Chain A
C-alpha cells in the first residue's frame, strides 16, 4: 500500500505544480497517471509546440514546461504510479481514501486531487482481426512504450505518422534488432529534426520505412510472429516480435465518472468560491477536469486552483490550526530530501 497525504490523479502541469504547493505546507504527494511519462497533454500531444500564456515565460515549449515543473518539485520527492489508471475509490471511516488502479496498485491518502485534464488518454486502436488477443499478456501488441529494454534484440514494427511514431522509431533503432516504420502516407507530420533523423536512419539502414502502407493482419499462434502489410495493393509479410501502433490518443473521463462526483459537461463540478472541493468532502478537482461558473481551461488557472486546494487539504488534515502565508523568497524552500533553497543574504555595507 502506498501511503501519502495528497493523492493526485493526473501528472499534467496542474498536478505537478500541486506537488510544489503541497510541499511548502509539508504535505507529501503521490501521482497516478495512465500515461507512461509525466506531463499529460503537454508531453503526449504537443511537446514541441510553444505556449505563450504562462506568466513569466514569453514563450515556452510544452515539453520544456514539464521538464521545469519536474525540476521545481523534485525536492518534495513525489511518488509516481505511471502507466496505470485510477479505477476505484473507497472512503474509510477515518475520512481517508483508498484508490486502486486497474493493475491493482493501492494508494492510501488523506485527500484526493483529481487533476485529470481531459481524462484518461486511451490509445486509438487500429481495427484489425484478433488484435484484442495479441494486446494481452505480452503477446506482441503494445500501445505505449513503457519499458524500452523489453524490445532489446527484437524485431519491432511501429505504425503511425506523428511525433511519437517518429521519436520511438529513432529511440528503438538503438535498442531493437530491427525497426520497421509503417505509415499510410509518404509524408510524416512531426518536428522537423525528428523527420530528418528518421531520414538519416533510413539512409544508413537502421530503420526500414514502408510507405504508403498499412498493417492488415497478424500471424502467430501464442504470440505475434509476423505481420501482413499492404503496400500499394500488394501484400508482404514482415517478421515481428512486437507491433506498436501509435495512432494518437483519445481522452475519456474514464472510471472517475463512476465515483459519485457531480458531473456537468464532461467535467467535475467544484466549489470555486473556496477550495475546488467536489461534492464529496476530501476529493478535489483542479485544472481542466473541473467546471464552475466562469471556468477557463488554462494552465495558469490550474496553478491557482492547485494552490488553493493545498491550503484546504492542510486545514482538513490539521483542523483548527492557524496557517500563516509565507513567501518562498523570505522563508526559502525546505525539501523533503534535506535540501534547502534560499535567497542570498543582502550585503550590508557602507558605500564611501
Chain B
C-alpha cells in the first residue's frame, strides 16, 4: 500500500492542522479538507468539485505544488473574491505522492 503523505492546512480561524492524506483514493485537497472537517460543511466544496464556486479556494504557502491553474480554475478565480497570486482551487489539486509536505491556507468564505 502506498504511504500516506502529510499536508499542513491552516483553517479559516488560523489554526494549523497537519493531516495525513492517502494517495490511492483519487482525492483532491477540497475533499481532504472535508474529510478532516477543517471547514464547516456547506462552506467548502459547494459545487462538488467542478471548479464552479471557489468555496475551496486555498493559498499555496510553499513551492511543493505549481501555481499554474487549469483553464476552468483560472476562469473561476477571475470571478471569485479574496483572490491572491498564490490562490488555487483545492478541488483542482489532486493528492499524489509528489505533493508531500504541501502547506496551504484556506481562503475566507466567498
Contacts and interface: CB of A to CB of B under 8 A. Distances in A.
From DSSP, what is the main secondary structure of chain A's interface residues?
A: loop
B72 A45 contact: no
A109 B46 CA distance: 31
B50 A49 contact: yes
Given A118-B42, A267-B42, A250 B110 contact: yes
Secondary structure at the B interface, as helix, strand, loop or mixed, is: loop
Given A49-B50, A248-B53, A250-B46, A161 B78 contact: yes
B41 A46 contact: no
A231 interface: no
A45 B52 contact: yes
A75 B26 CA distance: 43
Interface stretch (A17-25, A181-189, A198-206): A181-189
A46 B52 contact: yes
A21 B60 CA distance: 48
Interface string A3-23: 000000000000000000000
A119 B42 contact: yes
Contacts of B110: 124, 250
Given A45-B52, A46-B52, A266-B41, A251 B79 contact: no
A185 B75 contact: yes
B53 A265 contact: no
B35 interface: no
A161 B43 CA distance: 23
Contacts of A46: 47, 50, 52
Interface string B49-62: 01011000000000
A185 B75 CA distance: 9
Contacts of B47: 45-46
Interface of A: 45-46, 49, 118-119, 124, 160-162, 184-185, 187, 189, 247-248, 250-251, 253, 265-267
